[in-house]
């Protein structure tokens, strides 16, 4: 049985670099469940990270970023096993912001825009569970993780997020205020002529 589990882990893409554990919800909370296409997801959900950067990396042949490698692995698996899209766990959204599922969205985006443009990936529907912040289990909001428990890769991601630096391919141009808090104003880098 252990050999079978190990074999499945080699064949089916496993979780990769992540920003953390999925949120836990109150036992009686019921999400609003939708099935959405990629374009509907990109229109209705905010804060989806890195899907454009991964596409740019793949087009340039740069797979040095762990996220790019993992998203490509997911995309290749989906291309070879298109019906497996029906078995993916739902994308988790809290107050219209992505909480879990960015790798899946990025893989579909990569397939649709580069790896399999004839596969009609932009027409396929993904399960999306929409929650509200009040649906969160209060323990989730108070949970703390000891920094020493994180891998080096997780520590780098956490440091990156806490420093609020701009994503790869973007540069900071001053600060902007949203919801009473200051954030870096990140704009796409332009090529010098």
pLDDT (0 to 100) of residue 158? 53
User: φ and ψ at 127, to 5 degrees?
Assistant: -75, 135
pLDDT (0 to 100) of residue 72? 95
pLDDT (0 to 100) of residue 140? 62
Using only C-alpha atoms, what is the Rg of the chain? 18
Q: Alpha-carbon distance 84 to 126, whole Å?
A: 11
Judge residue 120's burial from the number of C-beta atoms within 10 Å of its C-beta, 0-12 exposed, 13-18 middle, 19 or more buried: exposed
Q: What is the DSSP letter of 31?
A: P
User: Hey, where are the domains in the chain?
Assistant: 29-137
Question: Is 64 in a helix, a strand, or coil?
Answer: coil
Helices (H) and strands (E) in the chain, counts: 7, 6
pLDDT (0 to 100) of residue 154? 61
pLDDT (0 to 100) of residue 182? 61
Q: Alpha-carbon distance 7 to 13, whole Å?
A: 11
What is the residue-level pLDDT of the chain in tens, covering all 193 positions? 344 344 334 444 445 555 556 678 888 999 999 999 999 999 999 889 889 999 999 999 999 888 899 999 999 999 999 999 999 999 999 999 998 999 999 999 999 999 999 989 999 999 999 999 899 887 765 544 455 555 666 656 655 555 556 777 877 777 766 555 566 777 778 766 5
User: Does residue 71 contact residue 103 with C-beta atoms inside 8 Å?
Assistant: yes
pLDDT (0 to 100) of residue 73? 93
């Amino acid at each position: 049985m252990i050999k079978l589990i190990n074999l499945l882990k080699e064949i089916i893409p496993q979780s990769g670099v992540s920003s953390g554990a999925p949120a836990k919800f109150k036992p009686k909370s019921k999400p609003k469940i939708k099935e959405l296409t990629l374009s509907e997801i990109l229109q209705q959900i905010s804060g989806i990270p890195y899907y454009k950067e991964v596409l740019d990396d793949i087009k340039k042949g740069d797979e040095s970023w762990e996220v790019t490698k993992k998203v490509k692995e997911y995309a290749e698996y989906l291309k070879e096993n298109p019906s497996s899209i029906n078995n993916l766990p739902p994308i988790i959204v809290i107050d219209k912001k992505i909480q879990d599922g960015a790798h899946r969205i990025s893989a579909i985006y990569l397939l649709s825009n580069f790896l399999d443009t004839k596969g009609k990936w932009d027409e396929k529907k993904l399960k999306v569970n929409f929650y509200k912040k009040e649906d969160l289990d209060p323990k989730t909001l108070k949970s703390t993780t000891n920094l020493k428990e994180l891998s080096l890769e997780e520590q780098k991601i956490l440091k990156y997020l806490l420093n609020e630096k701009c994503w790869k391919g973007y540069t900071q141009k001053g600060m902007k205020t949203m919801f009473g808090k200051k954030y870096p104003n990140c704009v796409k880098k332009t090529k010098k002529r």
